[in-house]
Structure 1
Amino acid sequence: MTFNGWKEVVLEEVSYYGDEKIPSAEVTLDNYISTENMLPNKSGVGMASGLPTTKSVRRYKKGDILLSNIRPYFKKIWFATKNGGCSNDVLVIKNKDEKELDKKYLYYTLLQDNFFDYVTATSKGTKMPRGDKSAIMNYGIMLPPLNEQKAIANILSTLDEKIETNNQINEKLEEMAQALFKHWFVDFEFPNENGDPYKSSGGEMVESELGMIPKGWEICQLDDLVDIIDNRGKTPPLSQNKTNYPIIDVKALTGTDRIVNYDNCSKFVDKNTYETWFRSGHPKTGDILLSTVGSIGELKLFFGDKGCIAQNVVALRTKNISYLYLFQYMRHIKKQLISYNIGSVQPSIKITHVKKHKILVPKKDIEDSFTEIIKNISFLIFNNSIENQRLVSIRDNLLPKLMSGEIRIPMEDGVLSEKN
């Protein structure tokens, strides 16, 4: 169905691939985009972990759409907010005429699941499928009048801006939590009984196997502080459909905040498998999730009751210590955890090695004071993450309705109306 002023076109009529090159020396970790630092499930991009080794890379500009062309089912896409360079495995899509096509409208058109389903279905290769560039340009889209394009993009952008604001708040909260941990438990400037910084106010320090520590603090093995929930063994039978029982693997542990990223969960089990298959049980609120294979040493806190852990993840359930303190401590020693790597081809760590790691245990009153502060920070982060899941769901439900014209935006008063 088409509407007055709407027309159906293919991408090639209104957009093209950018193929301009720039010297690799001109890109930085902040503006270099490759398939590795593009985030799955339409989550944008992260910081690059390395710079290109080639002499030149493809240029992109603010307002371009970057699309990962490897394994398109990962749904990696980004609306560029700056200028930079990208690898050859990233497509740069530009619109031909801004008087005919709004950049943000084009981005939201390509953000739809239908588009990624199409690119996946027309891709080439099996082990590492690549999008067919010609087929992508033959993808059909609906093109309303420009003012309606802008109105649609504005509604969706408002949701994305709120999501981004929550992400930025969470990033700052994480920085605050780690800074407080360092101040109290690395610099040992936690408040003494008078409220003054302990070490610089002359607090007594004693020698230990971890160096000088406050008097009365202890050193324990991790094994004495946690029980291990470990489901390694046979791979469970997977559901062909998305269910309420996601498998939390290493991809779900990536990112800067402490909450499991369920958007990165791509495997699911059914209810019966969830209830019967996992020999060690399921994670509970407060468990610390640690990746042991692949991207090792990634850490998240488990909140709620959603999901089961994969073979490359273990859950640490604390005893006789605050899970919030231990989580922050393990984040601080992440490099030491990574040093337990025994893998030659694929990085991996044995939990039997990690369990022997020495942990600094503060006095109970100091631990309790720290936990109370971090608890408030953690629940703020958790609530923001929950809100973002809801906003993403709203956005993704609105997308096809707005782009198909099922929901129209009358230009007279800006009020949404629904076509029956």
Structure 2
Amino acid sequence: MCCNGWRENTLGQVYEFSSGLSKNAKEFGFGFPFLSFKTVFNNYFIPEEICDLANTTEKEREKCSVKKGDVFLTRTSESLDELGMSCVALKDYQQATFNGFTKRLRPKNPEIINPKFTGYYFRSPRFRLAVTSMASMTTRASLNNDMLSRLPILIPPISEQVAIADILYSLDKKIELNNRINKILEEMAQAIFKSWFVGFEPFQEEEFEDSELGRIPKGWRVGTVSDLGDVIGGSTPSKSKSEYYTDQGIAWITPKDLSINKDKFISKGEIDITESGLKNSSAKIMPKGTVLFSSRAPIGYIAIAKNDVATNQGFKSVVPKNNIGTAYVYYFLKNNIEVIENRATGSTFKEVSGAIMKQIPAIIPNDKILSEFQSMCDLYFNKQLLLEEQNQNLTAIRNSLLPKLISGEIRVPLEEVQ
């Protein structure tokens, strides 16, 4: 007993462990719902629908079922950071099974543990530290049943579990709602771009003329990306010079930052560079509104700079010309990723050079239409930026509260749990 009614147990006392299915590659893509390693890794809770499919037998579906309260942990990985990542089922998933690289933890007594609470507990720094401390590391990090059974879990009274989970879950639901709104806004802006600049739907009554990219409204022209804005590459200051890097300096973005941060707008990366780092490299400062486009490993990550930024050499960014605007450049690049990627060169990995990027063909509407499109998109962009910043604040609050609530450092007032 600890923390006024909180119990510390081991996972072996609370859960039964089961291994998942190892399927042949040919058995995927059809059949029944299949909980993948990726889904477990990326979600606190299993999504409403499991999108991956596997051809499973009735016996496999019975043995490897997915039921409300089940916890799924990644049991093996190439790094400790990916080990023991969890995902919890908040309902029964009919006919579903789960991946062999994960373990299922099914509660022995579902009445004493709340699924939402466990969703946050297993993602807490407390549990993550316990996992990485116990894991074995040979060529791959791994967890076996014996290791799992000895891992500790701190269990409050069920009423307090529910209250803790509700606080954290309400924050996540607000984040989810904001993401849905932003997705809809993005789809609307994309639809307008395609309607205006791909299908030319609002201009069908106007005169058209031939061009190397097909018929376009008269007064428009065909140019290249270099006509849309200045194409600027990046650079990495010497990693051996610690004085070139800092936590608070010049924002410096890498493709990895965009792989982690899925937001449309970005203000900084994992680490900044100093004035000295900037001067001793070929990195350049680019203004707010610059469209960042990753040109290798991989090609096609895209974001808009919220402020002055620099990037590493993995980008060919475009600083839009004043008469073109950020919105047109952003959606042009987003809608032409495949065209750009097809022009990439390289044997080890494909890369888009600055010269190639500058010569990508582009339809250039007249200034009036571009101004109207930018004005319309500003309404979407301002709302999206507001919701992204709100989500960053909500995430920071959740991440700050989670370890304190899970450990009992902060207690939910008694009136909230009665």
Q: TM-score surpassing 0.5? A: yes
1:61–1:80 CA contact under 8 A, matched in 2: yes
Deviation at 1:239, TM superposition (A): 7.2
Contact 1:27 1:85 in 2 (8 A): no
| Change over 3 Å in CA distance of 1:160–1:72 after alignment to 2 | farther
The answer to whether residue 244 in structure 2 is matched with residue 252 in structure 1 is no
Alpha carbons 1:29, 1:49 under 8 Å: kept: no
1:60, CA displacement in angstroms? 3.7
Alignment partner of 1:154: what SS? helix
Is 1:6 equivalent to 2:6 in the alignment? yes
1:365: Cα distance to partner? 0.9
Q: Distance in 2 between matches of 1:252 and 1:292?
A: 14
Given that 2:20 and 2:103 are in contact with CA atoms closer than 8 Å, whether structure 1 keeps it comes out as no
* C-alpha distance in 2 between matches for 1:230 and 1:54: 49
1:220 corresponding residue in structure 2 = 223
1:15 aligns with 2:15: yes
Deviations 1:194-226 (A, max 9, x none): xxxx21xx2211110111111100111112332
SS in 2 for 1:383: helix
**In structure 1, what residue type is equivalent to 2:415?**
E
Q: Structure 2 CA distance, aligned partners of 1:173 and 1:276? A: 40
1:269-288 aligned at under 5 Å gives the runs: 269=272, 271=274, 276-288=279-291
The one-letter amino acid of 2:127's match is F
TM-score, length-normalised on structure 1? 0.81
The Cα shift of 1:270 comes to 6.0
Percent of matched pairs sharing the same residue:
28
Q: In 1, distance between residues paired with 2:367 and 2:67?
A: 53
CA RMSD of aligned residues (A): 3.8
Post-superposition offset of 1:139: 2.5
Deviation sequence 1:219-240 (CA, Å, 0-9, x none): 1111233223322356535979
Q: Deviations over 1:6-51 (max 9, x none)?
A: 1111222222434354988686699655445666697988999987
Aligned counterparts of 1:239 and 1:86: Cα–Cα separation in 2:
45
Moved more, 275-284 or 220-229: 275-284
Report the secondary structure of 1:147's partner residue.
helix
SS in 2 for 1:298: strand
Aligned partner (choices 227, 232, 235) of residue 229 of structure 1: 232
Alignment equivalent of 2:182, drawn from 161, 167, 170: 170
Match of 1:314 in 2: 316
Could you say which residue in structure 2 is the equivalent of 1:90?
Answer: 102
Amino acid at match of 1:106: T
Q: 1:35 and 1:273 mapped to 2: Cα distance?
A: 43
Take 1:348 and 1:96, find their aligned partners in 2: how far apart are those partners? 53
Shift of 1:128: 5.2
Tell me whether 126-135 or 381-390 shows the greater mean CA deviation. 126-135
User: Of 173, 194, 200, which aligns to 1:188?
Assistant: 200
1:318 shift after superposition: 1.5
Is 2:182–2:384's contact at 8 Å kept on the other side of the alignment?
Answer: yes
Residues 165-216 of structure 1 show CA distances to partners (whole Å, capped at 9, x for unaligned) of 11111111111111111111111123xxxxxxx21xx221111011111110
Q: Tell me the alpha carbon deviations over residues 302-356 of structure 1, each in whole angstroms, 9 at most, x when there is no partner.
A: 2135x64233233221124211111111111121122123244434332321221
The unaligned stretches of length 5 or more in structure 2 are none
Deviations 1:380-404 (A, max 9, x none): 1111111111111111111111112
Shift of 1:275: 5.2
Whole-angstrom distance in 2 between the partners of 1:138 and 1:179: 53
1:172 alignment partner, SS class: helix
Change (3 A) 1:384 1:402: same
| Structure 1 unpaired stretches of 5+ | 191-197, 416-420
CA contact (8 A) 2:236 2:281 kept: no
Match of 1:117 in 2: 129
Contact 1:95 1:103 in 2 (8 A): no
Query: Matched residue of 2:415: which SS?
Result: coil
Q: What is the CA-CA distance between 1:98 and the residue it aligns to?
A: 1.5
* Counterpart residue number, 2:247: 243
The alignment partner of 1:393 has SS state of helix
User: Partner of 1:374: helix, strand, or coil?
Assistant: helix
Q: Alignment partner for residue 294 of structure 1, among 293, 297, 303?
A: 297
Cα distance between partner residues in 2 of 1:350 and 1:41: 36
Q: Please tell me whether residue 73 in structure 1 is matched to residue 78 in structure 2.
A: no
Tell me, yes or no, if structure 1 residue 324 matches structure 2 residue 327: yes
- The correspondence of residues 103-114 of structure 1 with structure 2, limited to 5 A, is 103-114=115-126
Aligned partner of residue 307 in structure 2, secondary structure:
coil
Task: Provide the secondary structure at the position in 2 that maps to 1:402.
Answer: helix
Following TM superposition, by how much is the alpha carbon of 1:253 offset from its aligned partner in structure 2, in angstroms?
2.7
User: Does structure 1 conserve the Cα–Cα contact (< 8 Å) formed by 2:28 and 2:53?
Assistant: no
CA distance in 1 between counterparts of 2:115 and 2:39 reads 23
- The DSSP-based 3-state class of the residue aligned with 2:106 is strand
Secondary structure of the residue aligned to 2:406 is helix
User: How far apart, CA to CA, are the structure 1 residues paired with 2:97 and 2:110?
Assistant: 23
CA distance in 2, matches of 1:95, 1:210: 61
User: Quick check: 1:122–1:132 contact (8 Å CA) kept in 2?
Assistant: no
Matched with 1:369 is 372
CA distance in 2, matches of 1:39, 1:238: 35
Match of 1:143 in 2: 155
3-state SS of 2:386 partner: helix
Out of 321, 333, 341, the position equivalent to 2:336 is 333
Superposition map of 1:194-213 within 5 A: 198-199=203-204, 202-213=205-216
Counterparts in 2 of 1:343 and 1:139: CA distance versus 1, 3 Å: farther
Output the CA distance in 1 between the equivalents of 2:44 and 2:294: 23
Q: TM-score, normalised by structure 2?
A: 0.81
Q: Secondary structure at the match of 1:408?
A: coil
Task: Specify whether residues 37 and 108 from structure 1 end up closer, same or farther in structure 2 by C-alpha distance, changes over 3 A only.
Answer: closer
Judging by fraction of residues, say which structure has more helix: 2
